[in-house]
Structure 1
Amino acid sequence: MSKSGTLKTTIENKIATVSFGHPASNSFPSEQLQRLTDEINRLSSNDDINIILLKSEGDGAFCAGASFDELLAVSNLEEGQKFFSGFANVINAMRTCSKLIIGRIHGKAVGGGVGLAAACDYALATTESAIKLSELAIGIGPFVIEPAVSRKIGKAALAEMTLAAHEWKSANWAQEKGLYAKVLETVSDLDSELENFTTKLASYNPEALSEMKKVLWEGTENWDKLLYERAAISGRLVLSDFTVNALNQFKKK
């Protein structure tokens, strides 16, 4: 697998399946974030598809969030804001996409990975799909993804996750809070449920699906500005001595 990650799309029966992968627990370097943003924007105007299924490769983590190597390489405010804007770009692309996006969360999600799951319109998971927002532990915070996560689980649950930065929350907890629509026992159960659900959904009136998408995201129009303001906060904090030391400690583990 490429160091910058892989991204591929297959289209069948009006469903576009977008699959991303990276050798470091499906984490996201900037190049991969841009690829995913571009692909979602491209699929948004494709009349041959009705819905998008977002998934990641392998049987380990769903997504480990931002690339630690790239975080450590940030050397100034501009680079920091640009890196975190990568997640802002993806979330905004998912938000404004004309197609409903269904998430296949087969394993653990951390940081930006939780943001990706939250930006899906509907997410199915397995019992292995625990979540964690560990950003405070490394001196930053989940500022860019917070609006997407809070929209799904509310501020109280977000605070519970963010302040207990070392704690994993179970997939069942995530379902209770509204992040996951269903939690299945196994990956094969997950894929069977996804096939049934996406086949039904893709057969519905595409205009109705598109209008429903708009309704689901009403009130988020300010994210075009908000998420980039948040990226600037993270970009500044990632330069702090605290964060540089914390990232180096994490890498040694």
Structure 2
Amino acid sequence: MSYNNIISEYSNGITTITINRPSKLNALNKETIQELHDAFDEANADSDTKVIIITGSGEKAFVAGADISEFADFSVEEGGKLAAQGQDLLFNFVENLSTPVIAAVNGFALGGGLELAMACHFRVASTNAKMGLPETSLGVIPGYGGTQRLPQLVGKGRAMEMVMTAGMIDTTQALHYGLVNHVVELDELIPFCEKIASKIMRNSSVAIAEAIRAINANYEDGVNGYDVEIEAFGNCFGTEDFTEGTTAFLEKRKADFPGR
């Protein structure tokens, strides 16, 4: 599939999706959100893809925010529709993918960019990264899940401060807050993410998909995460991966998971 604003490349079990709007600091517009949805959907459906890495082109920005020019004159109804469609099409979609998604945060991750990174399963940042939700400085609030995922990751008080001040934090703060898992030099960002991906790929992709579902269940209103875990745990017993994993353990050899 060809894209105007992103690049999707596959190699050795990893699909790397690069947002490629450097003149706009990789800002998210409607077309880019749709293309990202399509690229994630395609990678998730590809049985050869075991891990997805999402990053931005260049050294300045992962995603510097949403493209404000597209919604500056929106009405109340249009604004609500924008948030609902975006959450459904991309942010919630990414969070619930069965394929692990790593955000490789290079440079600015602001507004919708930080919201995209937070929707990923975890985040690795380069030392030059800056993160924040500046929406209140524009007279609006984060609308792509930022007010929900940020407190889940950093706690209510820190999230309140970040949203109310509309300020940016550096990687030292982001690591301390638990917003990112690791911080590395810019030239090591993708290789480091690929190294983590290689560790993930040693394990059962079926079990990992069930683990993602169970962990996410803890944050869903009206859902008992423990019940989902019990169901997911039981499901694993009916898979070829479980048979291979337990057999390999008993035979004292490395497992070769079929992914079924």
Aligned residue in 2 for 1:50 = 50
Aligned residue in 2 for 1:147 = 148
Rounded to whole Å, the distance in 2 between the matches of 1:134 and 1:148 is: 15
SS in 1 for 2:169: coil
Structure 2: 5+ residue stretches without partners: 223-260
Aligned-pair distance for 1:5? 5.4
Aligned residue in 1 for 2:237 = none
Which runs of structure 2 are paired with 1:189-208 in the superposition (5 Å)? 189-208=188-207
Rounded to whole Å, the distance in 1 between the matches of 2:157 and 2:128 is: 23
Aligned residue in 2 for 1:120 = 120
Aligned residue in 2 for 1:172 = 172
8 A contact 2:83–2:143 mirrored in 1 = no
Rounded to whole Å, the distance in 1 between the matches of 2:16 and 2:144 is: 25
8 A contact 2:63–2:110 mirrored in 1 = yes
8 A contact 1:106–1:125 mirrored in 2 = yes
Rounded to whole Å, the distance in 1 between the matches of 2:18 and 2:29 is: 15
C-alpha distance 221-40 of structure 1, shift in aligned 2 (>3 A)? farther
8 A contact 2:56–2:62 mirrored in 1 = yes
1:129 aligns with 2:129: yes
Aligned length: 217
C-alpha distance 46-63 of structure 1, shift in aligned 2 (>3 A)? same
8 A contact 1:87–1:112 mirrored in 2 = no
Aligned residue in 2 for 1:158 = 159
Rounded to whole Å, the distance in 2 between the matches of 1:94 and 1:188 is: 26
TM-score by length of structure 1 reads 0.79
Aligned residue in 1 for 2:228 = none
1:68 aligns with 2:68: yes
8 A contact 1:33–1:87 mirrored in 2 = yes
Matched letter for residue 159 of structure 1:
M
8 A contact 2:62–2:105 mirrored in 1 = yes
Aligned residue in 1 for 2:216 = 217
8 A contact 1:45–1:98 mirrored in 2 = no
Matched letter for residue 12 of structure 1:
S
Aligned residue in 2 for 1:92 = 92
Rounded to whole Å, the distance in 2 between the matches of 1:105 and 1:96 is: 20
Once the two structures are superposed, residues 182-228 of structure 1 have per-residue CA deviations (whole angstroms, 9 ceiling, x without a partner) of 111x21122332222112212321112212211231134459xxxxx
Deviates more, 1:76-85 or 1:108-117: 76-85
Rounded to whole Å, the distance in 2 between the matches of 1:205 and 1:105 is: 26
Which runs of structure 2 are paired with 1:235-246 in the superposition (5 Å)? none
Structure 1: 5+ residue stretches without partners: 224-253
Once the two structures are superposed, residues 92-112 of structure 1 have per-residue CA deviations (whole angstroms, 9 ceiling, x without a partner) of 111221111011001111111
Matched letter for residue 18 of structure 1:
I
**C-alpha RMSD of the superposition:** 2.0
TM-score by length of structure 2 reads 0.77
8 A contact 2:128–2:186 mirrored in 1 = no
Aligned residue in 1 for 2:235 = none
Task: Indicate the percent of aligned positions where both proteins have the same amino acid.
Answer: 25
Rounded to whole Å, the distance in 1 between the matches of 2:176 and 2:214 is: 23
SS in 1 for 2:28: coil
Rounded to whole Å, the distance in 2 between the matches of 1:66 and 1:222 is: 27
Aligned-pair distance for 1:39? 2.2
8 A contact 2:127–2:186 mirrored in 1 = no
8 A contact 1:8–1:20 mirrored in 2 = yes
Once the two structures are superposed, residues 49-99 of structure 1 have per-residue CA deviations (whole angstroms, 9 ceiling, x without a partner) of 11111111111111111101112243x334323332343121111122111
